[in-house]
Amino acid sequence: MTVIDAPPAQVPDELSPQRGRWHRVRPFLPLVALAVLAILPYSTMSLPGIFEGPVNSPGTLQLLAICLIFGGLAAGYDLLFGRTGMLSFGHALYFAAGVYGTDILVTRAGLPLWQAALLTITGGTILAALLGAVALRTVGIAFAMVTLAFAQVGAILVARDFGGLTGGEEGLPLDVSGLPAGLVGVTNTVNLYWLALAYLTLVVFVVHRVSGSPTGRVLAGLRDDERRIGVLGLDPYRYKLVAFTLAGGLASAGGVVYVLIVGGASPHITSSELTLSLLVMVVLGGPGTRWGPVLGGVLYMYLDHRLTAFGTSDAVDNLPAFLSHPLSQPLFVLGTVFILAVYFFPGGLTSLAPRLSHLTRSLRPPR
């Protein structure tokens, strides 16, 4: 079985005296963050350089909503990679099932949104259960390859447009005539933003509850030593299938929200590159931690969008060609940062804070 580095053990609180004042506030920080994010659309603050318009402009809100969705997707993927130690390369499939399922049921079949969403999430979960049941017959790298191949089938099905359902290469714009009025139109972007925030909250809550439950302990055990779980009389296959199905269901729910925000489906979301970027998000943020994957997902999507603007800005254009051309490719920058992250901060962004505090403590003169 492949050895995966466990996240560093939590330092017992009595050993970190500096945290005394923060300690009492800490459990409430997520709620504070949620409240801030929820009232953010009421702010007309303008952050030049970070966002193009004021915070409550539709463009900025849409970008933020996409970031939140991918934060949630990364958190769901972390249930597989960081918490159970399964390296799946096919997670994009369940997300794409959510996106295309909703789109096809609403646009082609004319169902109301709530029915389409319910059917899609159920379908996506069943799909994950079925494919997981086959793929989990293999372990390790072979598992990665089988999930990759399944996701590739999804990509082919979408691209070849069997039965004229998916719109092929051009994608399928969402037919908004049957949707609730509050979710349609530029002025209602704020509702979509709240929907995305609700999705992120749901995923974080579910992942948190699952990893704290007895099942979560078994999953962590599977990550650390699968054979030992087997010796304890628990069936690894069953637990892994539960995690895989749950993660697939969460991803397809994310797809439902995503299709509303973007207003259609395009074939690039079925590509294996999306799964690879999910992996990048989780590793950048910190696998197996509560906030790391969310942070990684939000930051990755933000950079992916903003680096395009940064790449065409004057500051980059004035550089010599051998620098400006690669810097105008977001994936080049992100890929390089990712490689550096694997080498120099393996625990991701969330491991930076404890590391820095160690550094500052050792630099401070002894009392």
Partner 1 sequence: MGTVILLALTGLGLAALYFLVASGLSLVFGLADVLNFAHGLFLGVGAYGTWWAAGNLPGAGPDGFGFVLAVAFGVAAGTLVAILVELVLIRPLYSRTIEQVLVTVGLSLAGVALLQATWGADARTFPRPDWTRQVTGILGAQVPNGGLLLIVAAVLVLGAILAFLRWTRYGLVIRAGVENREMVTALGIDVRKAFTLVFAIGGAAAALAGALGGVYFGTVSPGQGGSLLIFAFIVVVIGGMGSVIGSAYAAVVVGLVQQFVNYYGTSGLGDICVVGLLAVVLLLRPQGIAGKVATA
172 in helix, strand or coil? strand
Q: Residue 93 Cβ, how far from partner 1 at the closest point, in Å?
A: 12
- 333, exposed or middle or buried, with CB in 10 Å at 0-12, 13-18, 19+? middle
Residues 18-57 contacting partner 1, CB under 8 A: none
Q: Residue 306 Cβ, how far from partner 1 at the closest point, in Å?
A: 16
Q: Of 114, 119, 234, 107, which is closest to residue 182 (Cα–Cα)?
A: 114
- What letter represents residue 309's amino acid? A
* Number of Cβ within a 10 Å radius of residue 316: 17
Is there binding between residue 242 and partner 1 (CB under 8 A)? Answer: no
DSSP for 289-318, written as a single string: SSSHHHHHHHHHHHHHHHHHHHHTSHHHHT
Give the alpha-carbon dihedral of 321, 322, 325, 328, to 10 degrees.
Answer: -110
Name the residue nearer to partner 1 (CB basis): 4 or 176. Answer: 4
Name the residue nearer to partner 1 (CB basis): 141 or 352. Answer: 141
* Helical (H) or strand (E) element with 265: strand 264-265
Binding mask 271-290 for partner 1 (x = CB under 8 A): -xx--xx-xx--x-------
Q: Residue 143 Cβ, how far from partner 1 at the closest point, in Å?
A: 8
Residues facing residue 172 across a β-bridge: 265
Name the residue nearer to partner 1 (CB basis): 137 or 361. Answer: 137
Per CB under 8 A, the list member of 335, 351, 354, 357 interacting with partner 1 is: 335
Q: Residue 331 Cβ, how far from partner 1 at the closest point, in Å?
A: 4
Binding mask 176-215 for partner 1 (x = CB under 8 A): ----------------------------------------
Q: Computed from CA positions of residues 127, 133, 134, 139, in that sequence, does the dihedral angle turn out positive or negative?
A: positive
Residues 115-154 contacting partner 1, CB under 8 A: 134, 137-142, 144-146, 148-150, 152-153
Which window, 15-23, 91-99, 202-210, 342-350, contacts partner 1 (CB under 8 A)?
Answer: 342-350
Per CB under 8 A, the list member of 209, 227, 325, 358 interacting with partner 1 is: 325
Residues facing residue 46 across a β-bridge: 54
Q: Of 249, 254, 205, 209, which is closest to residue 70 (Cα–Cα)?
A: 254
Per CB under 8 A, the list member of 315, 339, 352, 356 interacting with partner 1 is: 339
Name the residue nearer to partner 1 (CB basis): 18 or 138. Answer: 138
Residues 80-109 contacting partner 1, CB under 8 A: 87
Number of residues binding to partner 1, judged by CB under 8 A: 48
Name the residue nearer to partner 1 (CB basis): 128 or 334. Answer: 334
Name the residue nearer to partner 1 (CB basis): 22 or 343. Answer: 343
Q: Report the distance separating Cα 130 and Cα 132, nearest Å.
A: 5
On whether the CB atoms of residues 50 and 273 are closer than 8 A, the answer is no
- 358, exposed or middle or buried, with CB in 10 Å at 0-12, 13-18, 19+? exposed
On whether the CB atoms of residues 293 and 286 are closer than 8 A, the answer is yes
**Where does this chain bind partner 1 (CB under 8 A)?**
1-5, 87, 134, 137-142, 144-146, 148-150, 152-153, 156-157, 159-160, 162, 272-273, 276-277, 279-280, 283, 325-326, 328-332, 334-336, 338-339, 342-343, 346
